[in-house]
Structure 1
Amino acid sequence: MSIQIGDRIPEVTLKRIREGVETVDTHALFDDKKVLLFAVPGAFTPTCSERHLPGFVQHYEDFKARGIEVLCMSVNDPFVMKAWGESQHVPQGLEMLADGNGDFSRALGLEMDASGYGMGTRSKRFALYAEDGVVKQLHVEAPGEFRVSSAEYVLEQLG
């Protein structure tokens, strides 16, 4: 079963890309903060690189002005996430997270089987808004779609 509105974010460690790669616990990322986490099936994939991440890059300041931290996650290794962030000109402060083994995606119940595309287990495309580690909004895309997890849609839902 996937995470629901009102649930606490499960405790898992991820790799955060900054100057280097560091291990970070989800409680450190979510507790005592307003956080928008969006997840993509894969770095450098067409929709993720052409629309999903660029939308959050474009609207990063809109989220920041509301006191919301923005996290981008994919089931990729941290070196791929670092290269992808650099290629997409991700602003400092928009955190790139590697869920290399899919542990967090699985803990959220938002993993998917992309082995038909040669990608193994990945994260579904979604956007999750949490306050103090509790899910307040959850927008999970139907397979092959990109609508409810876009930066523009999430900003509308935040009001």
Structure 2
Amino acid sequence: MTVQIGDTLPDIQLQKVGNDIEPVASASLFAGNKMVLFAVPGAFTPTCSERHLPGFVEHFDAFRARGIDIACLSVNDPFVMQAWAQSQQVPAELLMLADGNGEFTKALGLELDATAYGMGLRAKRFALYAEDGVVRQLWVEAPGEFKVSSAEYVLAQLS
């Protein structure tokens, strides 16, 4: 079942990527915070690298001015996420999260079967806004689209 507004996010271990890679319980990331979590089907893929992540990097300060943290999630290994963050000049405060086995993504019910493209299990393209680990808003893209999970769209919805 797909996560719904009002649901508490699952507590599953992810890999937090920065200069170092460290395991982190998802519940601890969201506890006591206002956060936008956006997910991409894959690091270094065209839309993800040219529009999705860059939009959140560009508007990072606008979210932070509202007291909202930002996290990017992908079903990739942490080393790929680390290299992608470096190549995209992601601010250290924008959390990059690797869901290597897709456990968090599956628990949300937002997995994408990309085996036909040789990519295995991935995350659907989505964004959600959570307060203290509870989903307050959720935007899931239709297959092949990039509209409702963009930084610009999410910012407008949070106004």
TM-score calculated relative to the size of structure 1: 0.99
Unmatched runs of 5 consecutive residues or more in structure 1? none
Deviation string for 1:29-54 (max 9, x for gaps)? Answer: 10110010000000000000000000
Q: After TM superposition, which residue ranges in structure 1, 4 or more long, deviate above 6 angstroms? A: none
Unmatched runs of 5 consecutive residues or more in structure 2? none
**Greater shift in the superposed pair: 18-27 or 39-48:** 18-27
Deviation string for 1:47-87 (max 9, x for gaps)? Answer: 00000000000000000111111000100000000000000
Q: Report the alpha carbon displacement of residue 18 of structure 1 after superposing the two structures with TM.
A: 1.9
Q: Report the alpha carbon displacement of residue 92 of structure 1 after superposing the two structures with TM.
A: 1.5
**Aligned counterparts, 1:62-101, within 5 A:** 62-101=62-101
TM-score calculated relative to the size of structure 2: 0.99
- 2:102 matched residue in structure 1: 102
- 2:138 matched residue in structure 1: 138
Say what the alpha-carbon RMSD is for the aligned residues.
Answer: 0.5
Q: Report the alpha carbon displacement of residue 117 of structure 1 after superposing the two structures with TM.
A: 0.7
Distance in structure 1 (CA, Å) of the matches to 2:19 and 2:91: 13
Deviation string for 1:101-150 (max 9, x for gaps)? Answer: 00000000000100011000100000010001100000000000000000
Paired positions, count: 159
Q: Report the alpha carbon displacement of residue 19 of structure 1 after superposing the two structures with TM.
A: 1.9
**Aligned counterparts, 1:110-149, within 5 A:** 110-149=110-149
Distance in structure 2 (CA, Å) of the matches to 1:154 and 1:133: 18
